[in-house]
Structure 1
């Protein structure tokens, strides 16, 4: 089943029509607001692609904590 989502301005214009696999294999600077300097800094943490960024245990934990903060009160 095909799934389509609109990422709008979340991606660099050059990747707006890319497949999900292409985006996940692209450097973090593909995300709007990140630059090649961010790619260099993240590479120092072993993060070279958007897939690496999204699956990094520290970023994943931080994301869960932020999501939980809106549910716990």
Structure 2
């Protein structure tokens, strides 16, 4: 995964993997509060864990890998 800490806002530096997984999705660099609101409305995603385990995102990732 490389530098996981570098994928999160500075407020999450030094946090463990469990804390990062349960962090709000807008803790990820590049995801705004507005983006997080839309993810919640569309897919009920509120945490990084929700995003990483969402069936639609997993299906899209699997299809993309198979296509490669």
Same fold, judged at TM 0.5 (above): yes
The answer for unaligned runs of 5 or more in structure 2 is none
TM-score for the superposition, normalised by structure 1: 0.79
Which of structures 1 and 2 has the larger relative contact order (alpha carbons within 8 angstroms, sep 6+)?
2
TM-score normalised by structure 2 residue count: 0.84
Structure 1: runs of 5+ lacking an equivalent: none
In our comparison, the structure showing a higher alpha carbon Rg is 1
Runs (4+) of structure 1 exceeding 2 A deviation are none
Over aligned residue pairs, what C-alpha RMSD do you find? 1.4
Question: How many aligned residue pairs are there?
Answer: 66
